[in-house]
Amino acid sequence: MGQSRVIVVGAGPAGVRCAEVLVAAGIKPILVDESRRDGGQIYRRQPEGFTRSYPSLYGTEAERARALHQSFESLRSRVDYRPETLAWNIYDRQLHTVSAGVTKALPFDALVVCSGATDRLMPVKGWHYAGTYSMGAAQIALKSQACAIGRQVVFAGTGPLLYLVAAQYVKAGAKVAAVLDTSSLWKRVRALPKLAARPRVLLNGVSLMRTLRGAGVKVVTGIEPVEIHGSDEDGVRGITYRSQDGATHRVECDAVALGYHVRPETQLADLARCEFRFDAETRQWLPTVDQDGRSTTPGVYLAGDGARVLGADGAEIAGKLAAWALLEDMGHPVPDAERAALRREREAMDRFRQGLVEAFPWPAEQAARLPDEAIVCRCEAITAGELRRVVNQMGACEANRAKAFSRVGMGRCQGRYCGHAGAEVVAAAAGIALEKVGRLRGQAPVKPLSMAVREEQE
């Protein structure tokens, strides 16, 4: 038997830890990563030549970031590392990648997809104006390029990133005009028992709040965003929100970072024809995996936030578990005790994850209240009203049908950013359960593919 062809997609916490286990077992995986450098989103490394310190870049997670980067450096010669490479399709047990205008089909015996997560977004009227960023984009601008997204930034939405990124902006000296959280303080209090499963992380969260308060940042909870004000020419000018007492308030700003926690990037799992299941807790479809990350497609494993959002250290564990699952399936020995310990450790993380879901819930109910003129699908500029029209007048109560009629989810992001909210709008308009709306079928390419690509044999 020749060397097994193993590919790992993603060089974040899950991908690096996965590759590490594979290398230790004598396998030289191909490690495909879209970024210029390793680390993923969470431990994104600054460009070469930038000199910010680990603590200034990663705060309380500096040591974990450093450890992951060091692990990667020591692996580098023992993996076939392909940075700046997009995995754009999976077909017939080949991974199709594109890098620098060259596309290749890489055959695999086993594939571990560690594709990470991106922001979960709920539209708000005016969110198409220049100056509205996702929370993740706001963080990337800071982490990678040491840039703020505006001179006066409002952070709106919910989830741990809301406070983390706002605090990072404060520390970097940027002006944070307000932090507007759709979740209430009460929900966070109620979630405390679950959040206490990870005391250190919980304390980090509390300290972020303290940083914001200390800087005099206005933090309002239990709000509902009403409208981002602006113009096509000048972009964002301000944001109006409704507070719990029903009053509306306007905050002047030139940029808004928007996000409602994160959602797994599942297109590759979809293209690998993995089955999905509806997760009622978070109101989304997730690929079905066993406890170690085996998908329903033989030889395809899913690890990290791309399968289930557990955060960076949960992803490191998931990467190792997926690697062991892969090795076990190939007949290699695996360290049972260590595996059992990691599985247990991850259970505590899962309890914490549930706590986060309860503390910072996805504001599904907002979808029904979105004004008709609010744009849902920014790629195709389709409004909530148009989406409701295809439900009410054309009977499109299923996600792909609504897409076919309205074009919501048909643009360059293929619904990655509007799909969740679009489904909520359809469900509310049709008066049916979200699960019945179904799931947008993912299609290649995962991201737009230049027509000038050249094909090369591996």
Asked whether the beta carbons of 320 and 21 are under 8 A apart, the reply is yes
Among 44, 45, 96, 308, contact with other proteins (rule: CB under 8 A): 96
* For other proteins, the closer CB: 199 or 395: 395
Tell me: does residue 458 bind other proteins (CB under 8 A): no
**Residue 9 to residue 12: CA distance in whole angstroms:** 9
Place of tokens 């680990």: 54
Tell me: does residue 107 bind other proteins (CB under 8 A): no
Residue 199 CB burial class (10 angstroms; 0-12, 13-18, ≥19): exposed
Structure tokens at 406: 């309205």
Tell me: does residue 36 bind other proteins (CB under 8 A): no
Tell me: does residue 54 bind other proteins (CB under 8 A): no
Tell me: does residue 448 bind other proteins (CB under 8 A): yes
Among 66, 242, 401, 436, contact with other proteins (rule: CB under 8 A): 401
**Residue 114 to residue 87: CA distance in whole angstroms:** 11
Place of tokens 């992951």: 68
User: How many residues of this chain bind other proteins (CB under 8 A)?
Assistant: 27
Tell me: does residue 254 bind other proteins (CB under 8 A): no
Secondary structure class of 60 (helix, strand, coil):
helix
Q: What is the distance in angstroms between the CA of the first residue and the CA of the last residue of the chain?
A: 20
Minimum CB separation from other proteins for residue 27, in Å?
26
**Residue 341 to residue 393: CA distance in whole angstroms:** 55
* For other proteins, the closer CB: 137 or 449: 449
Task: Give 166's Cβ-side CA count (13 Å radius).
Answer: 36
User: Which segment (220-228, 346-354, 416-424, 450-458) binds other proteins by CB under 8 A?
Assistant: 450-458
Tell me: does residue 25 bind other proteins (CB under 8 A): no
Tell me, residue by residue from 348 to 387, as one string, x for binding to other proteins by CB under 8 A and - for no binding: --------------------------------x-------
**Residue 273 to residue 429: CA distance in whole angstroms:** 30
**Residue 315 to residue 346: CA distance in whole angstroms:** 9
**Residue 116 to residue 364: CA distance in whole angstroms:** 23
Tell me: does residue 263 bind other proteins (CB under 8 A): no
* For other proteins, the closer CB: 287 or 363: 287
Tell me: does residue 398 bind other proteins (CB under 8 A): yes
Q: Where in 412-441 is the site for other proteins (CB under 8 A)?
A: 412, 414
* For other proteins, the closer CB: 197 or 404: 404
Tell me: does residue 404 bind other proteins (CB under 8 A): yes
Q: Which amino acid is at 249?
A: H
**Residue 72 to residue 10: CA distance in whole angstroms:** 12
Minimum CB separation from other proteins for residue 42, in Å?
28
Q: What interhelical angle do 311-329 and 62-75 show, nearest 10? A: 30
User: Which segment (34-42, 90-98, 125-133, 304-312) binds other proteins by CB under 8 A?
Assistant: 90-98
Minimum CB separation from other proteins for residue 232, in Å?
17
Minimum CB separation from other proteins for residue 95, in Å?
10
Secondary structure class of 274 (helix, strand, coil):
coil
Residue 117's φ and ψ, nearest 5 degrees, are -135, 160
Tell me: does residue 103 bind other proteins (CB under 8 A): yes
Among 67, 330, 334, 453, contact with other proteins (rule: CB under 8 A): 453
**Residue 384 to residue 377: CA distance in whole angstroms:** 8
Among 36, 91, 347, 433, contact with other proteins (rule: CB under 8 A): 91
CA 244, 245, 246, 252 torsion: positive or negative? negative
**Residue 237 to residue 231: CA distance in whole angstroms:** 8
Asked whether the beta carbons of 321 and 338 are under 8 A apart, the reply is no
Minimum CB separation from other proteins for residue 18, in Å?
25
* For other proteins, the closer CB: 91 or 186: 91
* For other proteins, the closer CB: 219 or 449: 449
**Residue 374 to residue 140: CA distance in whole angstroms:** 27
Tell me: does residue 455 bind other proteins (CB under 8 A): yes
Among 140, 197, 202, 410, contact with other proteins (rule: CB under 8 A): 410
Residues that bind other proteins (CB under 8 A): 89, 91-92, 96, 103, 105, 380, 394-395, 398, 401, 404-405, 410-412, 414, 443-445, 448-453, 455
